[in-house]
Structure 1
Amino acid sequence: MQTAGRPARAAAFFDLDKTVLARSSSLALGRPLLAAGLLTRADVARSASAQLGYALLAADHRRSERVREQLSRVVDGWEVARLQEVVERAVERFVRPYVYLEAIELITRHHAEGSDVVIVSASSEDLVAPIARLVGADHVVASRMAVLDGRYTGQIDYYAYGPAKAAAVRELAADRGYDLARCWAYSDSVTDVPMLATVGHPVAVNPDRALLRLARTRGWEVRRFARPVPLLPRRGASLGLLGLCAGAALAGWWLLRRGALRRRNGRHAPPSPPGRPPRRR
């Protein structure tokens, strides 16, 4: 697609949980929300149960609705400004360690190619937006909670799930002039098949079994992300910090190998410095 008067552009659309992050964003933020008094331990337990079923079993409509209902029930009555404040302070410490290095490498690559990066998530926009900024995304599509007098009502105005994600991608493409045939999409869940099928380059990331089967049938690319990292490169300094991470990993491997060789050859005394007699055992 090309809008009159401007060339067609491309974008990369990333699901968030289990695609950019190694775990659920809501679970990653559970501890600071608990400390702030927004969550109770019972809330954390119920949320963990809902998310566990979502992660370990097929992410079908029924289980996704359970997560949606849990989200609505938990945030009912929360002060919006308070949640935003807690999340902003918490993302560096509690979310950053779960970001996949492979996702950051792809975000860096897409930016280098001139493409926008969009996070598309069923989680609340107030949780997703700070994480999107953390990883260097340009835009966010996320669920929006109803607000009255500065507090959440427990209702969801917009749920970015399943076909709604695909519709949002098409709408954003029309608004910003993206050529969907040149766009990429990344997700781990079969519930995101409508979004994946909307773009020219769909990628199944750590896919659930249903998505893996479908990806193989349709010839979609499958990728495995396995490296959550504690240090995120900032946009503009990505290549240097990625090189630093790679160098640190190589140095660590060399030190471990040297230690193993020393232990293996521990029965041999190390060579004496020049000019000194060998030590007696």
Structure 2
Amino acid sequence: MNTLALFDLDHTLLPIDSDYEWGQFLVRHGVVDAVDYQRRNDAFFAQYQAGTLNPVEYLEFALGTLAGFAPATLQRLQADYMAEVIRPAIKPAATALLQQHHDAGDLVAIITATNAFITAPIAQALGIEHLIAAQPELDAQGHPTGRLAGTPTQGEGKVTHMHAWLDGLGRPFDGFERSYFYSDSHNDIPLLSVVSHPVATNPSAKLAQHATALGWPLLHLFND
């Protein structure tokens, strides 16, 4: 296992943004104030696309919503969200790419700015053991407090969290012969610039321009 294969999640392995769609799901099911939540969710999403998002501000907005639900309600909503939104969005092209790396014996992980409450079931559904994601702070009963534990897994933060995760495994980054990172977003240029094999996957216009200038391969997994 001398190859590391890292994957962003939203618009990379999934053709949707799981964080944004979670908010839309809550609005559709009438469990949050539709007008206020929709307005704030749309504003944060626009900031993310523009590269101006304050990750802590957004994460604590999202995690604060989780804190407002009883544990049993959260579990039900999470299961319904997976069935209604996520599983239909898992495409054969993405699972085939993951399988190629698994079959090669690579160390595979998702590294995403989206919080672990949303992404842990998605990683499991995709057959990926390792997940690096924003961690919600939990109270003594294991319920989200509405705050972020640690630092965001976004931008340069992905590089920091990757190194910490690998060091925790006893597999420092420098020990890998090859390292891949698949991402759609210009926000991920810091980590794309660190690995030996960056792959601009379903890239945004800004990332596609950057990747083309540097000779990075462009990969299109989805038609939409």
- TM-score, normalised relative to structure 2: 0.83
Matches within 5 A, 1:1-281: 9-30=2-23, 33-34=26-27, 38-42=31-35, 44-50=37-43, 52-54=45-47, 57-58=49-50, 60-62=51-53, 67-68=58-59, 70-80=61-71, 82-150=73-141, 151-158=143-150, 159-174=152-167, 175-177=169-171, 179-226=175-222
Residue by residue over 1:151-182, the C-alpha shift from the partner in whole angstroms, topping out at 9 and shown as x without a partner, is: 43322113211111111222233325264441
Poorly superposed stretches of 4+, deviation over 6 Å: none
Amino acid at match of 1:125: A
Distance apart, 1:54 and its partner CA: 4.6
Q: Distance in 2 between matches of 1:73 and 1:16?
A: 22
The alignment partner of 1:22 has SS state of coil
Preserved contact between residue 2 and residue 177 of structure 2 (Cα < 8 Å) = no
**Matched positions, count:** 219
Q: Percent identity?
A: 27
Quick one: structure 1 residues 160 and 48, their matched pair in 2 at CA, closer, same or farther if it must change by over 3 Å? same
Quick one: structure 1 residues 176 and 101, their matched pair in 2 at CA, closer, same or farther if it must change by over 3 Å? farther
Amino acid at match of 1:126: F
Distance apart, 1:144 and its partner CA: 1.1
Q: Distance in 2 between matches of 1:88 and 1:126?
A: 11
Long gaps (5+) in structure 2? none
Preserved contact between residue 145 and residue 155 of structure 1 (Cα < 8 Å) = yes
- TM-score, normalised relative to structure 1: 0.68
The alignment partner of 1:183 has SS state of strand
RMSD (CA atoms): 2.7
Residue by residue over 1:73-118, the C-alpha shift from the partner in whole angstroms, topping out at 9 and shown as x without a partner, is: 4334334553244213431332112223322111010001001321
Long gaps (5+) in structure 1? 1-7, 229-281
Quick one: structure 1 residues 131 and 81, their matched pair in 2 at CA, closer, same or farther if it must change by over 3 Å? same
